[in-house]
A and B are shown apart, each in its own frame.
Chain A
Amino acid sequence: MMQTDALVLQARGGDRHAQGKLMQVWYKRIYNFGYKFFFDHDLAMEVAQKTFISMHRNLPHLQEVGRFKSWLYTIAVNNCREELRRRQSRRTVSLGETPGTGPLRIETPHRHENPEHQLRQTELSDLLQQCLLELSEEQRTVVIMKEYEGFKFREIAEALNISENTAKSRLYYGLDGLKKILEQKNLTKESFGYEN
């Protein structure tokens, strides 16, 4: 984080090398945020590209260096929402539609690092991504930021411009919704290969 702060300071002063370095550090996170939000590579790339172009233009206006992460994700979330609105207005793709809505049974009782396991892991990952897509945009955003991006509730509230309790509430309903979706899709504990 110290490295990020130093880079942000340099980049805010117009250092293009530092800006490039910042992008190298944060690109994968922003891309994966977009990918989990849309479950689509092209859209994730587009969101990441727009986010970093916006970062480059608006970085001089960033007041607090320590808020860079929240600030960057605010841009990313806004781009995601904009893209979502654009796609919904065009009605070319139904994001809520998930193929294979019947009961799914994936037998992975043990974890082994072999190609078969990796394939199942990928399939499982895709299935969970589809489950995430069934959440509302607000719940999905909070779940991704909390579970995968490691935000504190305070940071989520800051980035989304909501209260901490709202963030917690959205997360609660998001997890509860996912629980029901997983039960509906019959994704049991055995499907994930661990006991708890």
Chain B
Amino acid sequence: MKTKPDQEMLMAYLYDELTPQQRADVERYLEEHAEARAELQALQNVRNRLHAVEDKEVIAPSFIFPDEQARKSSLWRSDFMKVSLGLAAGLALFMVTLSLVGTRISWSEGELVIRMGEPKSMAQPAESLTASHVQNMIDQSLQQNNEVWKTELAANQARLDQSVKSALAANSSRMDRLVQVAATASEAQVRQFATDLQDRNLAAMKDYMKLSSNEQKVYIENLLIDFSKYLQEQRNQDLTMFQARMTDIEKNTGQFQQETEQILASIISSANPKTKFTSY
């Protein structure tokens, strides 16, 4: 192949979809032309890189494909038909119910009247009934009510008084008994309590005094021992100090004697010049 293979030929070569003859021609051209070889290699590199794209794992959903026949007749199963049929059935049921309870619906003079059963006639008021009659009837009724209330009130008052009296009497006797019992019981308990209290106080005082005298005795003994130790130690210190002083006095006395002798010797030597003394 002398001419450069076109893009279509290169693609077919790249994906190995050429006839053997075509393939040989393209390869011969590529051997002779480095730039075409490089171009093809670059496209092959892109292909290699595209292989890094991974397939996503996915699970096929479980579709239920509808039957065609069922789909055609699905008008009867559509929501619209279901709702329409439901409304029609409800309306029919309502009508039947109304007819069973004998409902009458009428329209006259702009007024809608719905009746359950036969209409009933309204009782007409008596024509002879006047305002004074009504007032008298009200007064009589009130008077009767007042009398009944008074009677009931008196009876209730009497029952209440009787009940209060009997309750007071019962409570009074019960309180007296309780007070008596309480008084008797408290006198004996107070005596017993006082006796116990005295005994406990006495025992406590004895224990305290005993403990107190023992502790004082021990304390004084310890104090005397400590004091005697102190006196002994003080005496020892005084003796030591006295001895030291005596030693010092003896030393001073000896030194004084030596100095005195030296002075006397120097006086004597100065008085007799022929006699020579060597000092020290």
A residues in contact (CB < 8 Å) with B = 14, 16, 19-20, 23-24, 27-28, 31-32, 35-36, 41, 44, 49, 52-53, 56, 121-122, 124-125, 128-129, 132, 143, 146-148, 152-153, 164-165, 168-169, 171-173, 175-176, 178-179, 182, 187, 189, 192, 194, 196
B57 contact set on A, CB distance < 8 A:
28
Residues 151-182 of chain B, each 1 if its beta carbon lies under 8 Å from chain A, else 0: 00000000000000000000000000000000
A172 contact set on B, CB distance < 8 A:
7-8, 10-11, 43
CB B66 to nearest CB in A, in angstroms, measures 8
Which chain B residue has the least Cβ–Cβ distance from A170? B11
CB B180 to nearest CB in A, in angstroms, measures 97
Contact B48 A196 (CB under 8 A): yes
> Measured between alpha carbons, how far is A48 from B52 in the docked complex, in Å?
23
> Measured between alpha carbons, how far is A44 from B61 in the docked complex, in Å?
13
A36 contact set on B, CB distance < 8 A:
53
Contact A175 B43 (CB under 8 A): yes
- Indicate which residue in A35, A132, A153 contacts B15 across the interface (CB closer than 8 Å): A153
Chain B residues numbered 47-73 whose CB sits less than 8 Å from any CB in chain A: 47-58, 60-65, 67-68
B8 contact set on A, CB distance < 8 A:
164-165, 168-169, 172
A19 contact set on B, CB distance < 8 A:
65
A152 contact set on B, CB distance < 8 A:
17
Task: Using A41-B56, A44-B56 as known contacts, list a sample of 10 further A-B pairs with CB atoms less than 8 Å apart, ordered by residue number in A.
Answer: A16-B67, A27-B58, A32-B55, A32-B56, A53-B63, A165-B8, A168-B7, A169-B8, A178-B46, A179-B42
Contact B68 A14 (CB under 8 A): yes
Contact B48 A194 (CB under 8 A): yes
Contact A176 B43 (CB under 8 A): yes
> Measured between alpha carbons, how far is A172 from B7 in the docked complex, in Å?
6
Contact B53 A128 (CB under 8 A): yes
A169 contact set on B, CB distance < 8 A:
7-8, 11
B42 contact set on A, CB distance < 8 A:
179
CB B123 to nearest CB in A, in angstroms, measures 75
B224 at the interface (CB under 8 A from A): no
Number of A-B contacts (CB under 8 A): 95
A187 contact set on B, CB distance < 8 A:
49
Q: 27 A-B contacts, Cβ less than 8 Å apart?
A: A14-B68, A20-B63, A20-B65, A27-B58, A31-B56, A32-B55, A32-B58, A44-B56, A53-B63, A121-B52, A124-B52, A125-B53, A125-B54, A132-B53, A146-B15, A153-B11, A168-B8, A169-B7, A169-B8, A171-B11, A172-B7, A173-B7, A175-B47, A178-B50, A179-B42, A189-B45, A196-B44
Query: Quick one: given A179-B43, A194-B48, are A35 and B12 in contact (CB under 8 Å)?
Result: no
Query: Quick one: given A125-B52, A168-B12, A169-B7, are A56 and B43 in contact (CB under 8 Å)?
Result: no
Total contacting residues, chain B, CB less than 8 A: 32
- Indicate which residue in B45, B50, B55, B58 contacts A196 across the interface (CB closer than 8 Å): B45
> Measured between alpha carbons, how far is A52 from B46 in the docked complex, in Å?
32
CB B205 to nearest CB in A, in angstroms, measures 90
Contact A35 B56 (CB under 8 A): yes
A53 contact set on B, CB distance < 8 A:
63
Which chain B residue has the least Cβ–Cβ distance from A122? B54
Contact B52 A128 (CB under 8 A): yes
Contact A175 B65 (CB under 8 A): no
Contact A168 B60 (CB under 8 A): no
> Measured between alpha carbons, how far is A143 from B53 in the docked complex, in Å?
13
B11 contact set on A, CB distance < 8 A:
153, 168-169, 171-172
- Indicate which residue in B44, B46, B61 contacts A182 across the interface (CB closer than 8 Å): B46
Which chain B residue has the least Cβ–Cβ distance from A177? B46
> Measured between alpha carbons, how far is A152 from B15 in the docked complex, in Å?
9
Contact B15 A148 (CB under 8 A): no
Contact B60 A27 (CB under 8 A): yes
Contact B63 A128 (CB under 8 A): no
> Measured between alpha carbons, how far is A146 from B42 in the docked complex, in Å?
17
CB B32 to nearest CB in A, in angstroms, measures 21
Contact A28 B55 (CB under 8 A): yes
> Measured between alpha carbons, how far is A178 from B65 in the docked complex, in Å?
40
Chain B residues numbered 4-58 whose CB sits less than 8 Å from any CB in chain A: 7-8, 10-12, 15, 17, 42-58
Contact A153 B17 (CB under 8 A): yes
